[in-house]
Amino acid sequence: MSVNSTTGHCKAPNLFTYEVLSWVMVVEYVLGLPLNLSVLYIFIFRYKFWKNKSIFPFNIVVADFLLMVCLPAKAYHYQHGQRRSPIKAVCKTMHFLLCLNRGASMAFLITLSIDRYFSVVQLGRRNFVKVLKKTPQISILIWVLLLPLTIPTMVHTFECCNSLRNETFLNDVTDLFREIVYFAQILIPFIILVYCSVRIVNRLRRKTVGEKTKLRRAMLLVISVVVVFTLCFLPITIAKVVLLVARLQKWQSENVVVQVYDSLMVLSYIDCLLDPLVYCFCISGFKDAYISTFCPTFLKKKLLKAEQPQ
């Protein structure tokens, strides 16, 4: 494997900032790995996800494990003042996995929201998402469709998110395509999510279809997905716009923008800690199953008792 020594742009502009970020990633990893392993256990042994319509949430867990694989290495590089691995193969593989994690997480979160939208707003019409949930091959198809959108991150010019810094036409076209895909992957699902949220809330207020409890649960599910998007994906998207403007306009403060961008990127990794919140609202009994399996006896009784209606 060759070592990349092309530019100094991949060096940390401020060692202290990146040391702090590395420890943030360590905390995310220490908390996220056992949490996602325990959720995986619930899906496999308690819910048997392949039989219990939990295929889409299971795929979100798989996407989170792609992030878990990358966090230790990324934290190591930040500790040593590098924004990415100096080894091209490692660098490209990590970037690919992180982009695939983001794309898959958004795809399956949005699918869950659309399913709930059809269940409570378009009641009586054929819910094509509900049909898809019974077909495991659809999840495989979603992963396959994500690959063409993620492969451009393997191109050489992705260096430390240095898009549009190259002078050749081919590199600029590649960078432009990658940035369009990046923003489309976030903005289009967010628009769909906002639409579903507004329609579900309006339906809950009118209470003309379905039970109130079902509508409220649907609203909580979509709101939880909105929270994940708002905290994990929107801030980094805004920072990416500012970074691209700073790069194109050759701002003197670009190093400051880079640090803000990388900081928000690290904070976006908390999606692996927030996703279980979504599972609680999209899977009936998930919270009770998790509490009864992993909580100590004294705490289990209190939590389960608190869940019982008064």
In this structure, what are the phi and psi dihedrals at residue 47, rounded to the nearest 5 degrees?
-105, -20
The pLDDT of residue 268 is: 92
The pLDDT of residue 8 is: 54
Q: Which pLDDT band, with edges at 50, 70 and 90, does 310 fall under? A: very low
The total number of structural domains in the chain stands at 1
Query: Counting runs of H as helices and runs of E as strands, what totals does the chain give?
Result: 12, 0
Residue span of the structural domain in which 53 resides: 15-286
Q: Of 13-22, 36-45, 79-88, where does mean pLDDT reach its minimum?
A: 79-88
HSE-up of 290 (CA within 13 Å, CB side)?
A: 18
On whether residue 293 sits in a domain, the answer given is no
Q: 167 versus 9: which is more confidently predicted?
A: 9
On whether residue 79 sits in a domain, the answer given is yes
On whether residue 308 sits in a domain, the answer given is no
Phi-psi region of 210 (alpha: psi -120 to 50; beta: other; left: phi over 0): left
pLDDT in tens, 207-223: 655 566 667 777 788 88
- Give SS3 for 37: helix
Q: Answer whether residue 170 shows pLDDT above 60.
A: no
pLDDT in tens, 256-288: 988 999 999 999 999 999 988 888 877 777 888
Q: Which pLDDT band, with edges at 50, 70 and 90, does 24 fall under? A: very high
Q: Answer whether residue 133 shows pLDDT above 50.
A: yes
On whether residue 292 sits in a domain, the answer given is no
The pLDDT of residue 197 is: 82
Task: Please report, for residues 9, 126, 251, 263, the alpha-carbon distance to residue 83 in angstroms, rounded to integers and kept in the order given.
Answer: 9, 48, 20, 11
On whether residue 120 sits in a domain, the answer given is yes
The pLDDT of residue 207 is: 66
Q: What is the pLDDT of the chain when averaged over all its residues? A: 79
Q: Answer whether residue 10 shows pLDDT above 80.
A: no
Q: 158 versus 60: which is more confidently predicted?
A: 60
Q: Answer whether residue 72 shows pLDDT above 80.
A: yes
On whether residue 141 sits in a domain, the answer given is yes
On whether residue 61 sits in a domain, the answer given is yes
Give the predicted TM-score (pTM) of the model.
Answer: 0.84
Give the residue-averaged pLDDT of 27-45: 92
HSE-up of 184 (CA within 13 Å, CB side)?
A: 9
CATH, residue 51: 1.20.1070.10
On whether residue 306 sits in a domain, the answer given is no
